[in-house]
Amino acid sequence: MYILRADRKSRGTRRVWSGIHEGAVNTMQDPYGREITYLRLSVTERCNLRCRYCMPEDGIAKKSREIMLTEDEMVRAVEAAASLGIRKLRLTGGEPLVKKNILSICRRCGVVDGIREICITTNGILLPELAKPLREAGLTRVNLSLDTLDRDKYAFITRRGRLEDALRGLDAALTAGFEKVKINSVLIGGFNDSEILALADLTRQYPVDVRFIELMPIGGLGFGPEAYLPCTAVLERLPELKALPEDGGVAKRYCLPGGLGSIGLITPVSTHFCAQCNRIRLTADGYVKPCLHAAAEFPIKGLSQEEMAQQMERAILAKPPCHAPLTYGHQSHAERNMNQIGG
């Protein structure tokens, strides 16, 4: 296999011979030896909800089509990323399922040479109609955002959603036969800390993984330090959790006795996982972000596949060793809301 590594002194790249085997691919490493194999592609900034930690209540100003990536450009970008060794693709937003051509995007990206896994992160509202077509289009995994099992709290945090619709989406995802269904729950002090047990118990009721994620200080959307709840709160409330082996992801994995799925703890604030970072992000308006919490961006709108690959290579070589500390005295340097970056 050929490995593209960054030269720390010149910040260039060099090919390193490490043998040939069936299915060998080019992969790229950043200046700190991290192999970059994962692209998170935001297909839209729009959403049918207004979650308080993600998007302003009034939504966002609509951008002209001319400055947003077209479907062809998204596919070309995925091809460029695959040429650098990207193997996993996640479609995000905004809410990716409000994108009218989401099935076509899935279908075309899923057959790009080198892409082995295509996933999506969604609020689940539109999954009753789209889960089966998405599976048929080649989508392999679904992450569903669900921060509460209380109807009133769900309406509060999403500002306009109905819990029943999200639960129907979960059922549709489980019925469609995806390889994996995960639930993402953002921990928010004073909001859903009393529901940790109920959310974790979903892994006993369904073959799903539940991932608790620390609330990040990004975008300045109105949460103060009292809302921050470390993932250690999950361990304190669930002493019966048993540790599971690492699976290459960023979550620390556990399971409940009798559980059908796992429980993951994602700790971007209390214990960052920058040393394991294997990803870059592409925004819906065509900027490659080397790091979620850094301001650096590399434009690819209007470029050829080769030019896109060059910009992605520059982005990978610009990845910092670690993002700045995240506390409610030190906001993320992202300079965008989450809906504009891709969750």
Cα(180)–Cα(127) distance, rounded to whole angstroms?
15
Q: Is the pLDDT of residue 20 over 60?
A: no
Mean pLDDT along residues 191-202: 97
221 vs 57, higher pLDDT: 57
Q: b vs e for 229-267, b when ≥16 Cβ sit within 10 Å of the residue's Cβ?
A: bbbebbbeeeeebeeeeeeeebbbbbbbeebebbbbbbb
Q: Is the pLDDT of residue 167 over 60?
A: yes
Burial of 226 (0-12, 13-18, 19+ CB in 10 A): exposed
* Structure confidence at residue 61 (pLDDT): 77
- Confidence bin at 247 (pLDDT 50/70/90): confident
* Structure confidence at residue 49 (pLDDT): 94
* Structure confidence at residue 64 (pLDDT): 87
Q: DSSP letter at 330?
A: B
Q: How many domains does the structure of the chain reveal?
A: 1
242 vs 217, higher pLDDT: 242
CB contact at 8 A, 281 and 40: yes
pLDDT digits (tens, 9 = 90+) for 98-112: 999 999 999 999 999
Q: Is the pLDDT of residue 23 over 70?
A: no
* Structure confidence at residue 226 (pLDDT): 86
Mean pLDDT along residues 2-7: 34
From the list 224, 210, 192, 201, the residue with the least C-alpha distance to 266 is: 210
Cα(3)–Cα(21) distance, rounded to whole angstroms?
13
Residue 325, domain extent: 2-341
CA distances from 320 to 23, 63, 89, 275, 333 (A): 30, 30, 22, 10, 12
165 vs 331, higher pLDDT: 165
* Structure confidence at residue 5 (pLDDT): 36
- Confidence bin at 232 (pLDDT 50/70/90): very high
pLDDT digits (tens, 9 = 90+) for 266-307: 998 888 778 888 999 999 999 999 988 778 899 999 999 999
Cα(143)–Cα(145) distance, rounded to whole angstroms?
7
Mean pLDDT along residues 180-193: 96
CATH number of the CATH domain containing 295: 3.20.20.70
CA angle 36, 38, 44 (to 5 degrees): 135
Q: What is the pTM of this model?
A: 0.88
272 vs 166, higher pLDDT: 166
